[in-house]
Amino acid sequence: MARDAQGSLKARASGQVRFPPFEDLDEASLREVRRFQVRPFPSLIRDNARRIPYNSGKKDFSQKTNRDSFQVFQYEFRLPGDDHVYTVLWDYNIGLVRMTPFFKCCRYSKTTPAKMLNQNPGLRDITHSITGGAITAQGYWMPYDCAKA
């Protein structure tokens, strides 16, 4: 994979992109992108695809999705006044979104995502808890429409 001028990995998506990034933004949205230091902008998120192998003793993800990896787009952001970088990943083929950075940026405890799943009947059944394997893929992955809501 090539790196762009900002040092981000650059690769093209593999397979069908069913969940593309929103990149055609109006000026107000672009101001927010700059305020939260979203990278890779102004280059395109769709050019930052990765394959993250799923390697864990828990085989339910492989059985439920019939896949052994995530095919993801990624971007990073920072909260204004904070140097911590949060990495957002979503599988552009099957639409699972890693929720960990959203909870972390709000300073929630590690147990909050599990509590949220318990308070929303049915959500746990369609959300995957990924442990083991690549650290960047660990955490709760939920369907795109749920994450967006």
Whether the upstream peptide bond of residue 101 has omega within 30° of 0, thus cis, is: no
From residue 145, how far is each of 26, 91, 120, 123, 127 by CA, in Å?
A: 22, 12, 15, 12, 12
Structure tokens at 100: 């960990």
The pLDDT of 10-38, averaged and rounded, is 91
pLDDT at 7: 41
Q: Per-residue pLDDT for 10 more than 90? A: no
pLDDT at 11: 72
Nearest-angstrom CA–CA distance, 4 and 27 = 24
Residues 6+ apart with CB under 8 A from 63: none
Nearest to 131, CA basis, from 71, 64, 68, 61: 61
The pLDDT of 67-78, averaged and rounded, is 91
pLDDT at 109: 93
Phi, psi values for residue 33, rounded to 5°: -60, -45
Nearest-angstrom CA–CA distance, 139 and 130 = 5
